[in-house]
Amino acid sequence: MPLELVTIRCLKDNYAYLLHGGAGTVLIDAPEAAPILTELKHRGWKLDAILLTHHHGDHIDAVPELTRQTGARVIGAKSDAHRLPPLDIAVTPGETLDILGKTVQVIDVSGHTVGHIAFHFPESGFAFTADSLMAMGCGRLFEGDPAMMWDSLCRLNALPPETLICSGHDYCAANGAFALSVDPDNDALKKRMTGTAEGRLPCSPATLAEERATNPFLRVHELCRALDMENASEAEIFARLRSMKDNF
């Protein structure tokens, strides 16, 4: 049975995601309890598990209320357990899980934080990347360094192009504005920004193929000349772009 994906807007600009199938329902990240509980009630679904990507409050603060009301198990990174809510299942990158009867790969995507993980459902074509690879951008480097984040983006960029990248925030306006500033002749980017502004195209999820075409942090080869960095390494070009975005 295919899994059904539901995107939930939380807080000011967060995304949480419900996945539902014949074996139950799971949530990826828990920013705010009320909209998640409302969606579960509306659909008549029982929450079985919560998958956490990283420790920031806008991804975990609703866990106590959700577990109190639903009894859902909590799954997160073993290396980050000391700053996550109590975990029922602690996982490590490279590990494979069985969730909702589907194979799930745990991927290290450190950079935004150290210990950040992504969950890839290869059979269903979903990757929950939170604040690593984001719509037309990537997360700010609060704990990791540019080389660490570049390695993480390369791991995600190796996924199949049809993979739906489910990121953690709607930062489309800011991310798209920066992307256009460094890639102004990119027709795919212009079309995506126009469609997003008009509400015709979603900010997230989007396919990895679309991110490759519009996300400057996956387009270092195409942007090296504009940045006068033709002899630089990919990681160096990424670091320059990330610094530019921080000051944009």
Instruction: Cite the beta strand spans of 133-244 per DSSP E.
Output: 133-134, 137-138, 164-167, 206-207
Residue 116 in marked binding region: no
Residue 20 in marked binding region: no
Residue 98 in marked binding region: no
Residue 120 in marked binding region: no
Phi, psi of 238 (to 5 degrees): -60, -45
Residue 59 in marked binding region: yes
Which value, in Å, is the radius of gyration of the alpha carbons in the chain?
Answer: 18
Residue 89 bridge partners (DSSP): 75
Which amino acid is located at 85 in the chain?
A: P
d(CA 207, CA 45): 27
Number of neighbours of residue 239 by Cβ within 10 angstroms: 19
Residue 56 in marked binding region: yes
Number of neighbours of residue 190 by Cβ within 10 angstroms: 16
Phi, psi of 111 (to 5 degrees): 150, -65
At 64, list the tokens.
Answer: 């106590």
d(CA 166, CA 15): 8
d(CA 21, CA 120): 16
Residue 42 in marked binding region: no
At 198, list the tokens.
Answer: 């008009």
129 touches 115 (CB < 8 A)? no
Residue stretches of the annotated binding site: 54, 56, 58-59, 112, 131, 169
The annotation places the binding site for Zn(2+) at 54, 56, 58-59, 112, 131, 169
